[in-house]
Every structure is written in C-alpha cells, then in structure tokens.
Amino acid sequence: MKYAVPVSGGMLSQHFGHCEQFALIDVNEETKEIISKKLVQSPGHEPGFLPGWLAEEGVSVVIAGGMGSRAQELFARNRIKVVANVLASDPEQAVLSYLAGTLKTGGDVCDH
C-alpha cells in the first residue's frame, strides 16, 4: 500500500496544498514496515489537481496536517483515505504511527 505525506523543509507540511514535496511511502501492510520511500516535487497548487495526480501515483492513504474540506471530498472521490490534522512532524514516523494505531491528530489547522 502506498501512502503520501506532504513535506516542507523535510517535515510534514501543515498546509497540504502548499507543500514543497510529497513523501511517497510504500508499506507492507502485513508486517507494518516501510518498504521504500521517495520524495517527489509537488506539481504545485492547482485546485482539484492533487487528488487525481496522487491517485495516478497509486496512493491509497494521505497523511496530512491541514487540508480543506473540498480537497478531502476530492480525495474520497478518488478512493484515497485522508488522515488530516496530524500532529507528527516526521513523515515516516507518521506512517508508522498510523499503522500502529497511535497517530495523534489535533484541531483543524486549515482555515478553508
């Protein structure tokens, strides 16, 4: 299964649409281990584009800080689960915590 985490400055970005990169992390769901990770440049913030682009990349789950409700709806249409308002800062640790059921989330940090 492939996870996407928006990244800015090497850390989980708190504003999904304005991140510098995406960490695309492949996980073995049975062993709950990371198989591979690659960083790809964000294609930029164009409303409605990122959900389709990440679906084409094979992403099943997005782990993010702030994300607007419209973006979350578009991800749902693309059959991508969204975990938003994540408090973790390390992308890999966020995925591992999600797999372990210990990922912490907070209030909505996105104002739209």
Provide the 8-state DSSP code for 32: T
- pTM (2 d.p.): 0.91
Q: Report yes or no on 107 lying in a domain.
A: no
Look up the CATH number of the domain holding residue 13.
3.30.420.130
Full domain range(s) for residue 49: 2-100
Mean pLDDT of 3-24: 93
Q: Report yes or no on 112 lying in a domain.
A: no
Mean pLDDT of 47-67: 93
Q: Report yes or no on 84 lying in a domain.
A: yes
Q: Which of 15-19, 35-39, 101-105 has the highest mean pLDDT?
A: 35-39
The pLDDT tens digits for 65-111 are 988 888 899 999 999 999 999 998 999 999 999 999 999 988 655 54
Residue where the block lists tokens 């990169």: 21
pLDDT at 112 over 50: no
What region, left, alpha or beta, does residue 52 occupy, with left being phi > 0 and alpha being psi -120 to 50 degrees? alpha
